[in-house]
Structure 1
Amino acid sequence: MEKIKGRHTPLRRSLWIVGTYLLVGWLWITFSDYLAQRWFPDPETLSRVQTYKGALFVLVTALVLFLSLLRQFISDRTLLSLNVHQQEEIRELNQFRESVIERANVWINVLDSKGRVVLWNKAAEDISGYPREEVMDSDDIWQWLYPDEEDRARIRERADEILRDEGEVVGYETWITTRDGHERQLSWNSRSLRNNAGEIAGSIAIGQDITDIRNAENTLRWRERQLSTIMDNLPGMAYRCRYDEFWTMLSVSNGCLELTGYEPDELVNNSLVSYAELIDEAGNETILRTVESAIGNAEPFSIEYSITRKDGRKIWVWERGRGVEGEGELVLEGIVLDISDRKELEEELSELATRDSLTGVLNRREMTRILEEEIARAKRYDRELALLWIDFDHFKAINDDHGHAAGDSVLKAASGLLAESVRSVDSVGRFGGEEFVILLPEMDRREALETAERLRRLVCDTPQPLGHGNTVTMTISIGVSVFPDHGEGADALCAAADRAMYQAKADGRNQVVLAPLTEEAHNP
C-alpha cells in the first residue's frame, strides 16, 4: 500500500498545481476585469489596460513557472547527483565485499537473529568444504560442522549469547568437521550486529584456521621437550654464551651442577659467578686465542683446560663449540665435558711410558731423551754436565741365594735411595738389569766425584730389604764422565762412564772411577 501511495504522489501534486493555477487564473481574470471596468470607464483606456493586464499576467505566470521549473531542476539535479553517489557507494560496497570479504583468507559469515546463515564468504567455503548455496538461509550448518551433540549444544549456546548481545568472543577455539570428514581447528572472533533502528539483527563471526599453527606449536613443544631431555641427559654441560671477557652464559643445561657444582641460575648472566672466573688466567688466554682463530676461520673449536669447581676441586674439561649469529650478536654454542678421569689415565700412561715399571725411576728411552736435551742446553750455555754409571756389585748372588723377588726388592729400595739423595734437577734412570744412570746438570768433575762418592757410601752403609724383614748389605761401582771432557754426545758420555764403571769393578768394586780425558780435553 505504501508503494502504491508513493507512486501516486507526483500525480496528486501535479493535479494540485494545475488546479491552483486555474483557480488563480480565474480569480485574476474575473477580479482584474471587474476592477478595470470600474477604474477605467473609457473604452479606449480600458482596452489598453486589459492589454497591459494580460501581458502582466503572462509575465507573472512565466516568472512563477520559471522559478518552479528552476527549483524542480535543482531538485532533480540534486537527486541525480545523490543517485550517482549512491550508485558509486553501492559499487564500492560491492567491490569491498568482493575484495575484502570474498577474497579474505579468513572465514567470514553472518547469521540472522535466528542463527541462519546470510553471508558465507569464499574462505568459509574452502575451509569447511560447504558451498554457499547449501548453507544460505539455513541453520543446518551447525549440525554439519559440529556432529557431536554436546559439542554442538555448547557452541550454539555461545553463539546465542552473542545474538542476545550478552558479550562477544575473542580467540574462542573450536574443532569443526569439514565436508570431507577431516577435522580443523579454528579461532573465532564474533559479535552481534544491529540494524538502523538499533535492534539486534544478527551476528558476524570471523574464523582463522589455526590447525597448521597448532600442529607446528605442538611439534615445536615436542622437539623442545625432546631437546631438553637430551640436553639434561648429556654428559657434561651444554651452553650458549656471549663472546665476551666473562664468557657470560645465556643458558646452560642441568649438567652444569654436576660439572661445576653451581646451579644453572647461578652461572647464567653471571648471577653469582662468571664462567671465566672458574678458569685459571693462563687457561682463559689459551681459550681466547683458540676461539678467535676458530671464528676467524669459520670453523668449530676444541680445547682442554682446567676449572675450579664450587667445592674448590680442580677438574680437567674438554670444550667443543662454535660461533653463531644470535639476536644481532655473535654467541658461542657448545658442550663442556669432564675429562679428569681421562687426564689421570693419560698421566698414568705417560708415567708408564717414561718410568721403569719395577723401580719407578726413568726408563732407558726417557733417560736418553733427557740426556740429549741437557747436552744441547750445556752446549748452548757453555756449561758442564756429569754422568754417573752405577752397577750393583755381586747382584747375581742375591738372586741366586734369595730369589728374584728379593733381588727386585733390593733394586727398588736402592734406586729409591739414590733418587732421594740427589737434587731435584738431577735425573735417575735404569738402563737395564742392575745398571743405573744419574744425570747431574751443571756439575764439574770435582763435584761429580764428590756426589758419586757420597752415593757409594750411602748405599754401602744402608742395608737393603730382601723382604719378610730380612736385609742385605750392598755395594755399588760407579763410573763418572763429564761433558765436554769425556765426549760431546750422549753415546760418547755413556760409553766413557760405562768403561769407568767396569774399571771400578776391575779395581775391586765398591769404588768410584773417573773416565780418562779425551785427547781434546788433554790438549784444549
Structure 2
Amino acid sequence: MTKEELYLSILDNIQDGVYYVDIHRKIKFWNKGAEQITGYQADEMLGLECSESKLNHIDEFGNHLCITGCPLFATNIDGVVRTERVFVRHKNGYRIPLLTTVYPIKENGVIVGSVEIFTRNSPKAYDDDLIENLSEKAMHDSLTKLPNRSYLESFLQYKFSEYQRFGKRFALLFVDIDHFRVFNNTYGHDVGDLVLTDIAKSIVNIIKKDDMFGRWGGEEFVGIFSINRNYEASAIAERIRHLVENTVVTNSDGQELKVTISVGVTVSKPQDTPDDIIKRADSLMYQSKHNGRNMVSTDVSAENI
C-alpha cells in the first residue's frame, strides 16, 4: 500500500465528513463519514462542482454560500483556512447543522484545491422549508421575491472573485422604470406594486443559474449576467427592455397599462471594483433617461472578443 492509499484509507474511515475539491471546485474525494452525515453516496457526488450538489449550503444568516460566499472558492483563491457554521440539505430533505473547516491543498507551493472537514454541530435536524423561508426573508425583496440589494452586493463580490481568478467575464445592468412616480400618482401604489411584481415574473424566467436579477431599491433593479463575449451584454439588456415594454398590467377598471425602462449596461474590467461597475452602469442608465427613455445605453463596443 502506498502512502497515498494509506492516507485515503484513514480519511475514508473517520467519522467526520471529508471531501476534496480541485481548483475548479469539482469534487474528487467524498469519504464514508460524508456519506453517513449527508446521506449522499460517493458515486452521487464525485465529479460534480460543489455548487451543483444538492447540499445547498446556507450559513446562519441565511446566505446561500454556493452563490455568494463559498468558503471553498475563497480558500482556493487565497489559501486562508476558514471555519463556518452552516446548514446543509440531507438527502432525505431536512436540514442539518454542520461545523465546517476548509484547508488549502498545495503542490510545490501552488494551491491545487481545498479539503473540507465537517461534523454535526448539533444532533437536531431542522425542517428544510423553515430554513429556506428564513433565507428567503433575509436575502429577497418581500414584494417582488427577487434578490434584494444585500444579496446582489454579495453576488457581485463573488462574480468579481471569479473574474479575477478565472477571467470569467460578466455584464452588469442598471435598470430604472421610466416615470414610475407619475405612474404611481396616476394609478395608485397598488397598481405600481403590481407592475413591479409582473416585471419580476417576466424577467425571472430568463435568468440562468449563474446569473442574478434583483431589486436594488424602489423602482431600480440590477442584473448580473455571465458572458463569453462583450456584445452579449447589450443583447441581454435589449431583451429585458423588450420584455418590460411588452408586459401588460390590468387595473381594477379593466385598463391595460404598460411601463418602459431605461437601462445602462457595462462589463467587468480588470481595474474595476464592485463600486466602480455599479457607478458606471448607473451613469449609463441616466444617459438613457436623458436620451429619451425606453432604451439601452452601453460603453461596450461591438467587438467579438
Q: Give the TM-score range, shorter chain.
A: 0.5 to 0.7
The 1:349/1:467 distance shift into structure 2, 3 A limit, reads farther
**1:394 pairs with 2:179:** yes
**1:280 pairs with 2:40:** yes
Distance in 1, matches of 2:241 and 2:137, equals 28
Distance in 2, matches of 1:304 and 1:356, equals 23
1:43 alignment counterpart = none
Once the 2 structures are TM-superposed, how far is the Cα of residue 437 of structure 1 from its aligned partner? 0.5
Which has the larger Rg? 1
2:277 alignment counterpart = 493
Equivalent residue letter for 1:478: V
Pick 1 or 2: higher relative contact order, CA cutoff 8 A, min separation 6: 2
Q: Secondary structure at the match of 2:147?
A: coil
Once the 2 structures are TM-superposed, how far is the Cα of residue 507 of structure 1 from its aligned partner? 0.1
The 1:316/1:379 distance shift into structure 2, 3 A limit, reads closer
Match of 2:190 among 405, 408, 412: 405
Distance in 2, matches of 1:349 and 1:277, equals 23
**1:450 pairs with 2:235:** yes
Q: Secondary structure at the match of 1:474?
A: coil
Equivalent residue letter for 1:279: G
Q: Greater share of helix residues, 1 or 2? A: 1
Once the 2 structures are TM-superposed, how far is the Cα of residue 439 of structure 1 from its aligned partner? 0.2
2:104 alignment counterpart = none
2:286 alignment counterpart = 502
Any conservation in 2 of the 1:504–1:511 contact (CA below 8 Å)?
yes
The 1:339/1:476 distance shift into structure 2, 3 A limit, reads same
Distance in 1, matches of 2:293 and 2:166, equals 36
Distance in 1, matches of 2:232 and 2:165, equals 21
Once the 2 structures are TM-superposed, how far is the Cα of residue 369 of structure 1 from its aligned partner? 0.8
Once the 2 structures are TM-superposed, how far is the Cα of residue 390 of structure 1 from its aligned partner? 0.6
Once the 2 structures are TM-superposed, how far is the Cα of residue 277 of structure 1 from its aligned partner? 11
Deviation per CA, 1:467-491: give whole Å up to 9, x if none. 5754311111100111117x51110
Match of 1:368 among 153, 159, 163: 153
Equivalent residue letter for 2:133: E
Q: Secondary structure at the match of 2:199?
A: helix
**1:513 pairs with 2:303:** no
Once the 2 structures are TM-superposed, how far is the Cα of residue 450 of structure 1 from its aligned partner? 1.1
**1:351 pairs with 2:136:** yes
Identical-residue share of aligned pairs (%) = 32
1:19 alignment counterpart = none
Q: Secondary structure at the match of 1:445?
A: coil
Equivalent residue letter for 1:382: G
2:22 alignment counterpart = none
Aligned residues: 204
The 1:364/1:467 distance shift into structure 2, 3 A limit, reads farther
2:212 alignment counterpart = 427
Deviation per CA, 1:369-398: give whole Å up to 9, x if none. 101110111111123211011111111122
The 1:477/1:339 distance shift into structure 2, 3 A limit, reads same
Distance in 1, matches of 2:37 and 2:166, equals 40
The 1:317/1:457 distance shift into structure 2, 3 A limit, reads closer
2:258 alignment counterpart = 473
Q: Secondary structure at the match of 2:191?
A: helix
The 1:413/1:401 distance shift into structure 2, 3 A limit, reads same
Distance in 2, matches of 1:390 and 1:466, equals 24
The 1:374/1:317 distance shift into structure 2, 3 A limit, reads closer
Distance in 1, matches of 2:217 and 2:126, equals 35
Deviation per CA, 1:392-429: give whole Å up to 9, x if none. 11111221011111101100111221121233321001
Distance in 1, matches of 2:262 and 2:198, equals 17
Distance in 2, matches of 1:461 and 1:445, equals 26
**1:339 pairs with 2:99:** no
Distance in 1, matches of 2:150 and 2:202, equals 22
Distance in 2, matches of 1:474 and 1:397, equals 11
Distance in 1, matches of 2:259 and 2:191, equals 13
Once the 2 structures are TM-superposed, how far is the Cα of residue 367 of structure 1 from its aligned partner? 0.2
Equivalent residue letter for 1:339: Y
**1:378 pairs with 2:138:** no
Q: Secondary structure at the match of 1:477?
A: strand
Any conservation in 1 of the 2:178–2:259 contact (CA below 8 Å)?
yes
Any conservation in 1 of the 2:95–2:131 contact (CA below 8 Å)?
no
Distance in 1, matches of 2:236 and 2:166, equals 23
- Structure 2, unaligned runs of 5 or more: 1-12, 16-35, 45-54, 56-86, 99-121
2:71 alignment counterpart = none
Distance in 2, matches of 1:278 and 1:495, equals 43
- The TM-score normalised by the length of structure 2 is 0.59
Distance in 2, matches of 1:360 and 1:419, equals 10
**1:306 pairs with 2:90:** yes
Deviation per CA, 1:78-102: give whole Å up to 9, x if none. xxxxxxxxxxxxxxxxxxxxxxxxx
**1:461 pairs with 2:246:** yes
Distance in 1, matches of 2:169 and 2:244, equals 26
Supply the RMSD in Å over aligned alpha carbons.
3.2
Once the 2 structures are TM-superposed, how far is the Cα of residue 514 of structure 1 from its aligned partner? 0.5
The 1:344/1:508 distance shift into structure 2, 3 A limit, reads same
The 1:476/1:380 distance shift into structure 2, 3 A limit, reads same
Equivalent residue letter for 2:156: L
1:414 alignment counterpart = 199
Any conservation in 2 of the 1:354–1:365 contact (CA below 8 Å)?
yes
